[in-house]
């Protein structure tokens, strides 16, 4: 297995670079700062309340303009998502409808996707599509080629209390928060996804010096989620719970303040741009998302940020902080069990699991090989 740092591979796959970690010395007598062979480094942490975000900054990015995101494609009508039973309606570019027969019987964990656009479509685990018989989330990263062929799409339900015809699936412009996303990626069990939706977080707390760190209770507790379900989200839908007025009034001010601080901290980068983040709750490094380009990161950043904030609100309100060295250590490559899935000529998905950590890398194979997205998870259970 390639032992190179996985985030270096994201950028090195994009820019065809190689080498080892090098030291770059800042001016003004500052300490030397390590920069990867792929040209990325960690920026200073941005903190608000119990959430800390380390920018992953790079001097090089790939051209990812030839790919579409799920939200973009659904919004433009270039992608259609339907239940797996009955007929899907495919419209040609001149808007003429035609019916496509699909397999009989709708399935909780499978939908059908048609990409009738001209660009390959990127899907990330945890992205939410709303409508149909139940709201669902994408179960794993993948790429869907253009061409209009109906393809089966593995999903998890995030609306436990409904199984009835609804409106056509649309982009919810939401990424579920890390506890739910983890269960989709690492556990791949529907019951655990539902449990994570209802509990808010699957993290039991932060471990320090062998004991549970005392902390203020979470702002968004499981009891608070129960109250929202009872009053505003009777079908237990993720969108209904986490876009409810009670939750939204806490999420949006938090997200806006962190967005403002992050933008200010990364505003004066010279010859560099942000391609990803490492995320910590209290003193725990928990998650990272990195992309092959700054523009691709920017397209996902608003809903990723919101998802990190929801998780922060559901976790204990501790003031512990990780160091930048802790964040660098978090990004070290794993050497555990490796699983690779691929669709020839389209994409390869590599997942490595070691103890409580999981790495996932999505590589596009056409028109050229680019590691589009890498995530790393510190599992909560």
- Is the omega angle on the peptide bond into residue 367 within 30 degrees of 0, that is, cis? yes
Q: Residue 1's pLDDT band (boundaries 50, 70, 90)? A: very low
- Secondary structure in 3-state letters for 303-340: HHHHHHHHHHHHCCECCCCCCHHHHHHHCCCCCCEEEE
pLDDT in the model for residue 308? 98
Question: What is residue 167's DSSP assignment?
Answer: S
Task: At 104, give phi and psi (nearest 5°).
Answer: -75, 145
Mean pLDDT for the stretch of residues 41-58: 96
Average pLDDT over residues 353-372: 95
Q: What is the mean pLDDT of residues 234-246?
A: 94
Query: At 118, is the pLDDT very low, low, confident or very high (cuts 50, 70, 90)?
Result: very high
What is the predicted pLDDT for the residue at 13?
Answer: 39
Share of the chain above pLDDT 70, in %: 81
Over range 130-150, report the average pLDDT.
93
CA distance 241 to 44: 33
Q: Which residue has the higher pLDDT, 164 or 32?
A: 164
Using alpha carbons, select from 124, 37, 14 the residue that is nearest to residue 371: 14
Q: What is the reported pLDDT for 68?
A: 97
Residue 132 is classified by DSSP as S
Q: Residue 40 — pLDDT band, cuts 50, 70, 90?
A: confident
In the predicted structure, residue 23 carries a pLDDT above the cut 80: no
- For residue 145, what pLDDT band results from cuts at 50, 70 and 90? very high
Residue-level pLDDT at 217: 85
**Which one has a higher pLDDT value, 87 or 73?**
73
What distance in Å separates the CA atoms of residue 374 and residue 378, rounded to the nearest whole number? 14
Average pLDDT over residues 156-185: 90
* Cα radius of gyration rounded to whole Å, the chain: 21
Instruction: Give the whole-angstrom CA distance, residue 90 versus residue 121.
Output: 16
What is the per-residue pLDDT for 291? 97
Distance from C-alpha of 190 to C-alpha of 186, rounded to nearest angstrom: 12
Look at phi and psi of residue 209 and say left if phi exceeds 0, alpha if psi is from -120 to 50, else beta: left
């Amino acid at each position: 297995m390639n032992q190179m740092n996985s985030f270096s591979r994201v950028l090195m796959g994009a820019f065809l670079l190689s080498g080892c970690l090098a030291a770059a010395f800042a001016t003004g007598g500052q300490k030397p700062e390590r920069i990867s062979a792929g040209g990325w480094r960690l920026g200073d942490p941005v903190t608000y309340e119990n959430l800390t975000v380390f920018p992953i900054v790079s001097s090089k990015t790939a051209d990812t303009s030839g790919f579409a995101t799920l939200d973009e494609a659904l919004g433009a009508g270039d992608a259609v998502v339907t239940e797996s039973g009955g007929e899907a309606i495919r419209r040609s570019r001149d808007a003429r409808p035609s019916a496509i027969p699909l397999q009989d019987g709708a399935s909780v964990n499978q939908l059908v996707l048609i990409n009738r656009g001209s660009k390959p479509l990127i899907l990330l685990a945890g992205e939410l599509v709303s409508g149909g018989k139940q709201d669902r989330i994408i179960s794993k990263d993948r790429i869907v080629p253009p061409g209009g062929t109906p393809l089966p799409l593995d999903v998890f339900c995030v609306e436990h209390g409904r199984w009835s015809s609804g409106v056509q699936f649309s982009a919810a412009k939401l990424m579920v928060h890390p506890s739910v996303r983890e269960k989709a990626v690492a556990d791949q069990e529907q019951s655990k996804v539902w449990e994570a939706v209802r509990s808010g977080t699957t993290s039991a707390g932060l471990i320090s010096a062998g004991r549970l760190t005392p902390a203020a209770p979470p702002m968004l507790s499981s009891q608070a989620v129960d109250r929202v379900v009872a009053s505003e989200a009777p079908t237990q839908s993720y969108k209904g719970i986490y876009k409810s007025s009670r939750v939204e009034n806490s999420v949006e001010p938090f997200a806006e303040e962190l967005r403002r601080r992050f933008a200010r901290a990364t505003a004066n980068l010279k010859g560099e741009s942000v391609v990803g983040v490492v995320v910590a709750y209290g003193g725990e490094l928990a998650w990272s998302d990195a992309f092959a380009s700054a523009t691709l990161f920017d397209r996902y950043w608003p809903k990723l940020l919101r998802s990190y904030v929801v998780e922060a609100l559901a976790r204990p309100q501790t003031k512990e902080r990780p160091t930048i060295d802790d964040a660098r250590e978090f990004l070290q490559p794993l050497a555990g069990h490796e699983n690779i899935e691929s669709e020839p000529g389209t994409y390869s998905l590599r997942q490595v699991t070691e103890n409580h950590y999981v790495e996932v890398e999505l590589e596009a194979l056409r028109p050229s090989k680019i590691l589009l997205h890498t995530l790393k998870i510190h599992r909560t259970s």
